[in-house]
Homo-oligomer: A and B are copies of this chain.
Amino acid sequence: MNLTHFNDKGRARMVDVGDKSQTDRVAVARGYILMAEKTIETVKNGGIKKGDVLSVAQVGGIMGAKKTWDLIPMCHNILIDGADINFTVDSDRIWVEAKVRTTGKTGIEMEALTAVSVACLSIYDMCKAIDKKMIIGDIKLIRKTGGKSDFSLGE
C-alpha cells in the first residue's frame, strides 16, 4: 500500500489533482471537548448572554476551516461553498459537528475536521482559567459525498 503524498524519492508532495473534474462535495466531521460539570454549567450560564463561549467557538471553527490549506502541509487550497457548525451540550462534554461544502477537484474532509478541532481549541482557550483537565477527543469523519467514493461511518 502506498501513500500518494510521497514522490518516487520518498519525499512529500502535494498530490496532483489536475486531471480530476470538479464535483459538488460535502463532508461532516464530529468531536467533543470533555470538561468538569461545573465548567459545563458556566458555559451554559454564559450562553444566555450575547457573545457566549459557543458563538466565539463557532466563528473560530468556521474561520479555521478557511485556513485549512495553510495549516495542513500537503492540503490543497480550495474554495469553500458553505460551512456550518452545531454544538450539543451534554452533562460532561460539548459535541461539535461541522458540515462543509465545496465544488472542487479534491475533498473537503480536512476542512470539516479542522473546523471541529479549532472550535474545540477555542472552547478550551476560553475555559482553561477554570478547568485545566479538559480533553478534546473522538474527532472523526462522519460522512462525505461527492468524491471518488462516498463514505459514511454508519453510526
Contacts and interface: CB of A to CB of B under 8 A. Distances in A.
Interface in A132-148: 132-141, 144
Contact of A101 (B18, B73, B110): B18
Contacts of A83: 13-14
A24 to B, nearest CB: 6
Interface residues on A, range: 35 or more
Nearest to A11: B51
Contacts of A138: 135, 137
Interface in A113-155: 113-114, 117-118, 120-122, 124-130, 132-141, 144, 151, 153
Interface string A1-28: 1111111011111111110000010000
A66 B77 contact: yes
A127 to B, nearest CB: 7
A46 B56 CA distance: 16
